[in-house]
Structure 1
């Protein structure tokens, strides 16, 4: 009988030598067990003087939070007027209340104002206005004289600088990039200033070239605008010979010549006869129907009620009501609602002497 060989004891395994920095081996993770969150993932663990060789520590790369994008021009701009589609208002909007909360800004907004404030000395002309105007909107800005409408439109157009607040035109910060914002706008200011010695044709040529259009394009568009505004017979005459209505039309044609995304119009129908008003209204309605945006101030409540998509009532530099025309007027007419918000009728007490006529 052969005796079995004695068992051979395994040779002892040498212990690993600790390195200066130990690297953790790849480990498998049990998908059923959620990993424990670290105290602060943005801070890397501080190295210790001694390293445990038996239980090496895992090196954790610090997580660096990405810096926010400072370039606001990457926002999606509102569609140009060439797009033949109307952008409808968002459904389900809340009813209008006094001092309404501003609607959240979206990439499709043509104009966004947040906390815009302007003072002249100790007098607040505009006091923290918030407005959100979607693209493809015919927007009315109404209020009594001295309410801050012209000051608001002047700040939007870049003619005045707000003391506080932000203005974004098509996603462009008007304070950080004023030239880029102004390229998107056409402006009809209050108290028209023009070059009286130029003819209507020369004035439109100046507007077009100033906007960077090639001379041939300016001439072609001048012909189209003159026909649309019924100015063909007046283009060869000096602007100083124009009536108030004709001057308003040629200035509006100049605001449109570069095909802007947004029109900022201060009292576009003031001193304009009914025929010219109908022509201007038809052009603006077609412009909005093809994706353009109009914000205008007006004292004509009936006109605003008839043509505007949305309206804001400004009194003493503050927005007291904002929304669709139906939301703002409620059960009243827009004029009645306007008078109600503006403080009602004036007190005529003390004018009894006016009832007795002098000889």
Structure 2
């Protein structure tokens, strides 16, 4: 479970980027995090993962406060950033073993997971190449593979499908559904409204740092008294009125 309580964030000389955000993400759900560019999605995710400090409020992951119990919280989530340009001077296999070492994944377990996941993503034969030689999509795949190695209970994914070929995107979506079906949590941001509509159990819409809607698509239809509007139509109406 992810608990975001009264969270605010501002940067020097600017208005609040996040303004008293409250959001409770239950276990066993895939939750899509939506908003236009500059709405505060990536800032929220970076606070959730400890990349950015929280100015006001608290964020806890499975009961661990990200600022007070940082190490405990970081052991239980996997994070895919919006830009996969990390550790470019390492070879693919070096990077995966580095991540596995950090999370103390046993040798036999990591070998099985590395082989299985990278074969699913069709990058197994490129593991001896340097990450800087990878395409954007391949870099995304190696980062996702690293996230899955220690089997975290919470997945926090910032635009995870960007740059993936259709087969790999399908495989990742299937993995997300399987993870949620095990009673675990998937929280991901996306600009792909059709994907969110097809895949997510619940949707959170943010704009100007404030939560505009959170609930199921059925909740959305009931709230806005419309059975025929798509997520895209409701999203555009909500964010254009801000």
Task: Give 1:171's aligned residue.
Answer: 63
Count, aligned residues: 236
* Corresponding position: 1:222 with 2:114: yes
* Corresponding position: 1:140 with 2:32: yes
* Corresponding position: 1:195 with 2:92: no
Select the structure with the greater relative contact order (CA < 8 A; seq sep ≥ 6): 2
Task: Give 1:120's aligned residue.
Answer: 11
* Corresponding position: 1:335 with 2:227: no
Task: Give 2:215's aligned residue.
Answer: 323
* Corresponding position: 1:312 with 2:209: no
Displacement of 1:219? 2.2
TM alignment of 1:29-48, pairs within 5 A: none
Q: Deviations over 1:204-246 (max 9, x none)?
A: 1111101122333322321122123222222222211211111
Q: Deviations over 1:272-329 (max 9, x none)?
A: 2222211211122112212221100000000000000011100100001110122125
Which of structure 1's runs of 4+ aligned residues deviate more than 4 A?
none
Q: State the distance in 1 between where 2:112 and 2:165 align.
A: 27
Unaligned runs of 5+ in 2: none
Whether the 8 Å CA contact 1:136–1:290 is kept in 2: the answer is yes
* Corresponding position: 1:244 with 2:136: yes
Report the 3-state secondary structure (helix = DSSP H, G, I; strand = E; otherwise coil) of the residue aligned with 2:126. Answer: coil
User: By percentage of residues, which structure has more helix?
Assistant: 2
Whether the 8 Å CA contact 1:199–1:239 is kept in 2: the answer is yes
Report the 3-state secondary structure (helix = DSSP H, G, I; strand = E; otherwise coil) of the residue aligned with 2:124. Answer: coil
TM alignment of 1:270-289, pairs within 5 A: 270-289=162-181
User: By percentage of residues, which structure has more strand?
Assistant: 2
Whether the 8 Å CA contact 1:249–1:280 is kept in 2: the answer is no
Q: Deviations over 1:105-134 (max 9, x none)?
A: xxxxx1011001100123211111101111
TM-score relative to the length of structure 1 = 0.63
TM-score relative to the length of structure 2 = 0.93
Displacement of 1:198? 1.7
Q: State the distance in 1 between where 2:55 and 2:191 align.
A: 27
Whether the 8 Å CA contact 2:49–2:66 is kept in 1: the answer is no
The two structures, once aligned, show a CA RMSD in angstroms of 1.5
Report the 3-state secondary structure (helix = DSSP H, G, I; strand = E; otherwise coil) of the residue aligned with 2:143. Answer: helix
* Corresponding position: 1:212 with 2:109: no
Q: Deviations over 1:228-272 (max 9, x none)?
A: 322222222221121111111110111111010100100001122
Displacement of 1:344? 5.7
Q: State the distance in 2 between where 1:344 and 1:123 align.
A: 19
Task: Give 1:81's aligned residue.
Answer: none
Unaligned runs of 5+ in 1: 1-109, 346-359
